[in-house]
Amino acid sequence: MIAGRERLGGRDMSFLGKLLVGLQLFLSVVFLVFAGAVFSTQANWKKTADLAEEKVKKTEANKLEVEQAFATYKTRMETDLKNEQARASDAEGRAKLLKDLGDSTEKELVAAKTERDEQRELAKVSVEEARQRREEALLQRGINNDLQKLLNEKQDRVKALEDVKFNLQVAERALQDKHTKLLNDLALFQKIIAAAGLSTDPQTVAGLQTPPPAVDGEVLETKRAGRSGSDLVEISIGSDDGLAEGHKLSVYRPQVGDKAAKFLGDIKLVYVTPDRAVGVVILRAKNGVIERGDNVTSKLGQ
């Protein structure tokens, strides 16, 4: 029995040894695979690390680019926001203005509706009252037309009177100057005549009046009178040339090129100074208009 057990034990030990050998072989294979995996992992780690570092650099570059783009976008968005805020503020102002305008328009509309209602109420008056008002309106219109016509006539009359007034003022100034001059001349002449022992009786000296001397001059200015006045003409010769109030001169336009000389009219002097004189037109030729630059002479009537 013991021998059987020994045989059995030897058999078990042989199986266990085989099992251990198989297990060792299996573990060797496992360790070999594990070593290969570790070696492969160690070999790929450097490549993976380089790729990771390159990705990190690219990521940093992309991050910087994104940050720059974001900064630009942020600046543009802030500018757009400010512009939009300004537009919004302007739009609010316009909206307020439109609202105020709308309120004002609504008030005007209410007022217009009220006025329309009032007009409708007024339109409900009787036909007889409307006819009477129409007749009154026509009568008032006729009165207004008559008054306007009368006003126009009065205005024309006032204008004519203003022209007459102006001419009278000019004539008055001329007469006042002439009167003053005549008084001074009269006093002087009376002294001279009295000193010479001559008479100052007008009837005695009536025949001493002489015509104007032979002189030529030029028209310096003209003044057209109103409806009832006379035209005035200022000339370039006066008392130093022998002229006096009352002398009559002729006005003509000298020959220019193919145009012949033209007689324009006669003037009578009403105001005389040493180098100038003013006369009134007493005779006007047909289609004769006296203008500045025309000539005057006393030779045509001599």
Q: Is residue 194 part of a domain?
A: yes
Q: Is residue 97 part of a domain?
A: yes
Please report the DSSP string for the chain in residue order: -HHHHHHHHHHHHHHHHHHHHHHHHHHHHHHHHHHHHHHHHHHHHHHHHHHHHHHHHHHHHHHHHHHHHHHHHHHHHHHHHHHHHHHHHHHHHHHHHHHHHHHHHHHHHHHHHHHHHHHHHHTTS-HHHHHHHHHHHHHHHHHHHHHHHHHHHHHHHHHHHHHHHHHHHHHHHHHHHHHHHHHHHHHHHHHHHHHHT----HHHHGGG--PPPS-EEEEEEEE---SSS--EEEES--GGGT--TT-EEEEEE--BTTBPPEEEEEEEEEEE-SS-EEEEEEEE-TT----TT-EEESSTT-
pLDDT value, residue 204:
37
Question: Looking at 165, 192, 209, which one is the last position of a domain?
Answer: 209
Q: Looking at the structure, tell me whether residues 139 and 73 fall in a common domain.
A: no
pLDDT value, residue 144:
92
Q: Is residue 302 part of a domain?
A: no
Q: Looking at the structure, tell me whether residues 22 and 114 fall in a common domain.
A: yes
Q: Looking at the structure, tell me whether residues 153 and 102 fall in a common domain.
A: no
Q: Looking at the structure, tell me whether residues 219 and 284 fall in a common domain.
A: yes
Q: Which residue range is the domain that position 221 belongs to?
A: 212-297
Q: Looking at the structure, tell me whether residues 219 and 202 fall in a common domain.
A: no
Q: Is residue 10 part of a domain?
A: no
Q: Looking at the structure, tell me whether residues 86 and 161 fall in a common domain.
A: no
Q: Is residue 200 part of a domain?
A: yes
Q: Is residue 181 part of a domain?
A: yes
Q: Looking at the structure, tell me whether residues 105 and 155 fall in a common domain.
A: no
Q: Looking at the structure, tell me whether residues 179 and 275 fall in a common domain.
A: no
Q: Looking at the structure, tell me whether residues 251 and 273 fall in a common domain.
A: yes
Q: Looking at the structure, tell me whether residues 162 and 216 fall in a common domain.
A: no
Q: Looking at the structure, tell me whether residues 177 and 189 fall in a common domain.
A: yes
pLDDT value, residue 205:
43
Q: Is residue 3 part of a domain?
A: no
Please give the tally of structural domains in the chain.
3
CATH of the domain at 269: 2.40.30
Q: Is residue 12 part of a domain?
A: no
Question: Looking at 174, 209, 244, which one is the last position of a domain?
Answer: 209
Q: Looking at the structure, tell me whether residues 216 and 205 fall in a common domain.
A: no
Q: Which regions of the chain are under pLDDT 50?
A: 1, 197-199, 201-208
